[in-house]
């Protein structure tokens, strides 16, 4: 009887720790999404103050990554999780790495914005904000899919990555044409290419989140799952 009670207590304690982990990930995710929004807005509005805030707040996100990493490692060391629980924690470690890198990309965009804000635009910003919106929505939906265990939403995020890749190539070709026609635009155009590349990398990190949803749910990689299990119904997981 005592043994059964101890097992129940340990399970309850572990479930609470998983809930705490989810809450930590949600807080970090919110900060990262805010950083991207501010970075893109600083570029479009040529707002130096917003760009400075993105750069300043990056240290907070870096610290959160270290804190959550420690949280995950302690859970592995003390609770010895197996199967799905181990996948949840292991993917949590990878997720914070992705989120931290997304925040770094936001900082890169903000720094480019600081330079571009003092210069006339090479061309009206149309494709870059469009590309940024798609990438931001991918990240938001990727995080939603991750927290809810929504395989179908994860698939949608994964498939959207091609659109961002194509836009990135299109932006590069257009800016290359501007540089060839007018060498005075080279520095500004290169900064915009740099911004476009960072936005494309944000979309890549969103697809990483989507891939982990399938892995957590059934232990399979996303390519294999979507190739061999298009019509298979999978019971969704939830971190709760």
Assigned domain for 235 exists: no
Assigned domain for 234 exists: no
Residue with tokens 């992705």: 98
Assigned domain for 109 exists: yes
Q: Count other Cβ atoms within 10 Å, centred on residue 197.
A: 15
Q: Alpha helices, DSSP H only, in the chain?
A: 2-45, 48-79, 83-116, 127-148, 151-181, 186-218, 222-228
Do residues 215 and 222 touch, judged by C-beta distance below 8 A? yes
Range of the domain at 121: 2-228
Q: Count other Cβ atoms within 10 Å, centred on residue 90.
A: 16
Q: What is the CATH number of the domain that holds 48?
A: 1.20.58.220
Assigned domain for 189 exists: yes
Instruction: Tell me how many domains the chain contains.
Output: 1
pLDDT score, position 231: 40
Reported as a single tens digit per residue, the pLDDT across 192-230 is: 999 999 999 999 999 999 999 888 887 777 665 555 555
pLDDT at residue 240 tops 50: no
Reported as a single tens digit per residue, the pLDDT across 6-27 is: 666 667 777 888 999 999 999 9
Assigned domain for 236 exists: no
Assigned domain for 238 exists: no
Assigned domain for 123 exists: yes
Assigned domain for 136 exists: yes
Reported as a single tens digit per residue, the pLDDT across 159-193 is: 999 999 999 999 999 999 999 999 999 999 999 99
Report in angstroms the alpha-carbon separations of 99 from 11, 33, 147, 185.
Answer: 29, 9, 14, 33
């Amino acid at each position: 009887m005592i043994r059964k009670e101890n097992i129940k207590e340990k399970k309850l304690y572990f479930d609470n720790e998983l809930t705490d982990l989810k809450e930590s990930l949600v807080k970090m995710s919110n900060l990262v999404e805010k950083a991207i929004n501010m970075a893109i807005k600083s570029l479009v509005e040529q707002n130096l103050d917003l760009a400075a805030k993105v750069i300043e707040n990056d240290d907070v996100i870096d610290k959160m990554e270290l804190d959550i990493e420690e949280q995950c490692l302690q859970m592995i060391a003390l609770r010895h999780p197996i199967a799905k629980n181990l996948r949840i924690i292991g993917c949590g470690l990878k997720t914070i790495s992705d989120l931290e890198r997304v925040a770094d990309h936001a900082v890169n965009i903000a720094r480019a914005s600081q330079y571009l804000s003092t210069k006339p635009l090479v061309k009206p910003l149309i494709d870059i904000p469009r590309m940024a919106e798609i990438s931001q929505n991918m990240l938001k939906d990727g995080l939603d899919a991750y927290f809810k265990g929504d395989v179908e939403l994860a698939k949608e995020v994964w498939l959207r990555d091609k659109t961002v890749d194509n836009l990135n190539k299109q932006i590069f070709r257009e800016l290359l044409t501007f540089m060839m026609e007018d060498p005075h635009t080279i520095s500004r155009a290169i900064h915009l290419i740099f911004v476009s590349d960072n936005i494309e990398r944000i979309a890549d990190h969103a697809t990483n989140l989507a891939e982990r949803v399938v892995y957590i749910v059934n232990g399979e990689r996303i390519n294999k799952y979507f190739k061999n299990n298009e019509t298979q119904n999978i019971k969704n997981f939830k971190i709760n």
